[in-house]
Amino acid sequence: MTASANVTPLLADRPVANMRPSAAIELHNVTKIYETASREQVHALSNINLDVGAGEFVSVLGASGCGKTTLLRIIGGLEGGYAGKLTLHGRGGDNSRRNVGIVFQDANLLPWRTILQNVLLPTQVLRLDKRASIARAHELIELVGLKGFENKYPFELSGGMRQRVSIARALVHDPSVLLMDEPFGALDALTREVMNSEVLKIWDTTKKTVFMITHSISEAVFMSDRVVVMSPRPGRVIAEIPIALSRPRNIDMLSEERFGGYTRELRRLLDVSALQAVNAKNSS
């Protein structure tokens, strides 16, 4: 099989309605303890059990330092030395690099490369077929609304545009899973709102499995099929809230009573777990 056979069209087949999707990401008892330079142990994650279905959009909320990025890095194959088991589409996590695309808070584009060259980077690292990759990069650049900017350099783009480039770059090798770590954290509120809807459109077009970390409760509710709440460190999954709002989502839903119900419930869960952590600290 040639590498070009790996580059598939953007419009994936939709899963049959009402069928429970098979798990794209499975975490079984994942525990991570860091050892710092001064030999102190930092218990970052404790027995994380979590499944994310193929094509599902899952967000993670939790206090700063509770291990969200650690979890994302483990799924993305960037962090080793953990206990427990990770499988992607039923296979061990060693296939992360090919199956996963990652968007971080900062776009981290290479300033000496054009937008097209930045988007193509993962295909060069993975040695995918050049012509098919260029065609796909052009499709993705159009999908993220940057047609016409292919030959510009990162410094010529706004923060929101740069983040669009990093989304295209994360999808160019056609991974099945898109991991996003506070992807809109550095954007102003209005750009962020626009990007939320844009990413939902991209998700709807490409049908990727999305695992997104955010600090915004309303963003999590607006975008997700399910919101996972983590406890303060060591991070554990303390709740999983399915979001039964209809799709496609639109900004008007933010003022719906049901939307407010979800955000209140999530805030309560975060407050209760933060309080428990404070009490546990004071009594130890």
Ligand X SMILES: Nc1ncnc2c1ncn2[C@@H]1O[C@H](COP(=O)(O)OP(=O)(O)OP(=O)(O)O)[C@@H](O)[C@H]1O
Report CA Rg, the chain.
19
Which residue(s) pair with 41 in the sheet? 35
Instruction: Find the part of the chain contacting ligand X (CB under 6 A) among 64-72, 144-152, 166-174, 266-274.
Output: 64-72
The yes or no reply on residue 69 touching ligand X (CB under 6 A) is: yes
Please say whether the beta carbons of 270 and 215 come within 8 A.
Answer: no
Name the residue nearer to ligand X (CB basis): 89 or 215: 215
Name the residue nearer to ligand X (CB basis): 69 or 99: 69
- Measured between alpha carbons, how far is 272 from 178 in angstroms, rounded to an integer? 30
| Residue 44 touches which of Mg ion, ligand X, none (Cβ within 5-8 Å per kind) | ligand X
User: Would you tell me how many other CB atoms lie within 10 Å of the CB of residue 30?
Assistant: 24
Instruction: Find the part of the chain contacting ligand X (CB under 6 A) among 4-12, 59-67, 113-121, 137-145.
Output: 59-67
Name the residue nearer to ligand X (CB basis): 70 or 123: 70
In the numeric block, the tokens 């206090």 are attached to 63
| Residue 233 touches which of ligand X, Mg ion, none (Cβ within 5-8 Å per kind) | ligand X
Name the residue nearer to ligand X (CB basis): 61 or 141: 61
- Judged by CB under 6 A, the chain residues 7 through 46 that form the site for ligand X are 34, 36, 42, 44
Q: Which two tokens stand for residue 122?
A: 């993962």
- Measured between alpha carbons, how far is 36 from 262 in angstroms, rounded to an integer? 38
Name the residue nearer to ligand X (CB basis): 45 or 140: 45
Longest Cα–Cα distance of the chain, Å, equals 62
In whole angstroms, the minimum distance from the beta carbon of 76 to ligand X comes to 12
- Judged by CB under 6 A, the chain residues 232 through 271 that form the site for ligand X are 233
In the numeric block, the tokens 């509770």 are attached to 66
Q: Which of 76, 80, 24, 70 is nearest to 46 (CA)?
A: 70
- Measured between alpha carbons, how far is 217 from 214 in angstroms, rounded to an integer? 8
The yes or no reply on residue 53 touching ligand X (CB under 6 A) is: no
Instruction: Find the part of the chain contacting ligand X (CB under 6 A) among 1-9, 60-68, 107-115, 256-264.
Output: 60-68
Sign of the torsion angle spanned by Cα atoms 254, 260, 261, 265: positive
The yes or no reply on residue 69 touching Mg ion (CB under 5 A) is: yes
In whole angstroms, the minimum distance from the beta carbon of 68 to Mg ion comes to 5
Please say whether the beta carbons of 32 and 42 come within 8 A.
Answer: no
Per CB under 5 A, residues contacting Mg ion are: 69
Per CB under 6 A, residues contacting ligand X are: 34, 36, 42, 44, 62, 64-70, 233
